[in-house]
Amino acid sequence: MKKWITLTALVFSFAVFAQEGKKKFQGKKHHDPMKMFEGINLTETQKEEVKTLFESNRPHKGEHKRKAETTKKHQLNSQNAKPPRKQKEWTEEEKAKFQAKMEKRRKEIDEKLQKILTPEQYKQFKSNMESKRKEFEAKRNTSNS
């Protein structure tokens, strides 16, 4: 009888730990734009304006994910599922056009941020962004080596 109780307790504890392990891993979190403002004391009004600014620059939020899920379901349901498409190679002209478009968006966001933040807050924000950029480049360089 003691063996059965011990065995049952062991199986039960194993099951509990296995479920806890699943709960801990939730995958990679999406980027939170407010993280860029850590260490900067924003007023509630500024926080709302910054959130609105970043949300307005992502008008199709979630659309890409829904489209990917629909495509995946379709491929799973069809008998002749197509292999995933290869990534398109960009021409130099397309790269330049895309980079110009992104630079224009960055400048627009930067101008709006300057209107929302005080000069001291903006200076701190730029400093934070520069240090994050350096961290990212260092991390990328070490992973490529």
Q: For residue 107, is it within any domain?
A: yes
**Residue 78: pLDDT over 80:** no
**Residue 74: pLDDT over 80:** no
**Residue 15: pLDDT over 80:** no
Q: For residue 34, is it within any domain?
A: no
Burial class (CB in 10 A: 0-12, 13-18, 19+), 49: middle
Q: For residue 111, is it within any domain?
A: yes
Domains in the chain, number: 1
Contacts of 39 (CB under 8 A, 6+ apart): 124, 128
In this prediction the pTM is: 0.55
Q: For residue 127, is it within any domain?
A: yes
Q: Which domain holds residue 125?
A: 42-56+92-145
Range name among 38-47, 61-70, 89-98, 118-127 with the lowest pLDDT average: 61-70
